[in-house]
Amino acid sequence: MSKIIVQNTPITVLSVEEQDYISLTDMATAKEGDNRSADIIKNWLRNRYTIEFLGTWEVIHNPNFKVVEFDHFRMSAGLPSFVLSASEWIERTNAVGIIVKKGRYGGTYAHKDIAFEFGSAISVPFKLYLIEEFQRLKTEEQRLLGWSAKRELSKINYRIHTDAIKHNLIPAEVTPAQASMIYANEADVLNVAMFGVTAKQWREAHPDLKG
């Protein structure tokens, strides 16, 4: 779970089977407040264009989507008597683009493609800010992933490196203290290669962090 801030409103982003789902409930709260967020989503689902969009998305991404049920909703959408909840849409059509969660982070969530479309029901500026903040979140996640990958690679190579130091660079007559200095100096070759700084430079720049 992550959170992004869109026009001063916290929006929850969940990872579900490696796909990003954004809270429609949080988005609707930004428009009308907590009391009417469910109504905003229901009114959006009543729209014929929304049903067309949701159904087309499911046809593209969901092989188990019940097209016959979708056609029934499509014919009824827009009529004054037509009412549809997210739970009913999911249950009747076996949809996966929208999910309803209970508990601490409960609410209605939608795949990012659908959430961006729902953003239009909030406001055009909100939708654009949502897309921008979501992209910023993904960029930050990729940066952290790259750092983690570099760190793991450094750890793997460190063992190979220390074995090579032991067999090739440390004379038999040196003391343990002298040997530790050789290990530290050679290890910093990896640190500089992978991270651009020595261990000492990293500690000095981040005195409150471990690592």
Indicate whether 55 and 157 sit together in one domain.
Answer: no
Across 75-79, 163-167, 197-201, which has the greatest mean pLDDT? 75-79
- What CA–CA distances, in Å, run from 181 to 8, 16, 174? 52, 47, 11
Strand partners, 2: 13
Q: What is the pLDDT of residues 119-136, one digit of tens each?
A: 988 889 999 999 999 999
Query: Are 152 and 87 members of one domain?
Result: no
Instruction: Kindly state whether residues 78 and 159 are assigned to the same domain.
Output: no
- Structural domain for 69, as ranges: 2-122
Residues 151 and 113 in one domain: no
Q: Are strands 98-101 and 9-16 parallel, antiparallel or unpaired?
A: unpaired
Same-domain status, 15 and 77: yes
Q: Are residues 52 and 104 in the same domain?
A: yes
pLDDT tens by residue, 49-101: 999 999 999 999 999 999 999 999 999 988 888 899 999 999 999 999 999 99
Residue 55, domain member (yes or no) = yes
Question: Mean pLDDT of all residues in the chain?
Answer: 83
Q: How many domains does the chain have?
A: 2
Would residue 168 count as lying in a domain?
Answer: yes
User: Do 18 and 94 sit in the same domain of this protein?
Assistant: yes
Q: Per the domain annotation, does 10 fall within a domain? A: yes
Please check whether residue 139 lies inside any domain of the structure: no
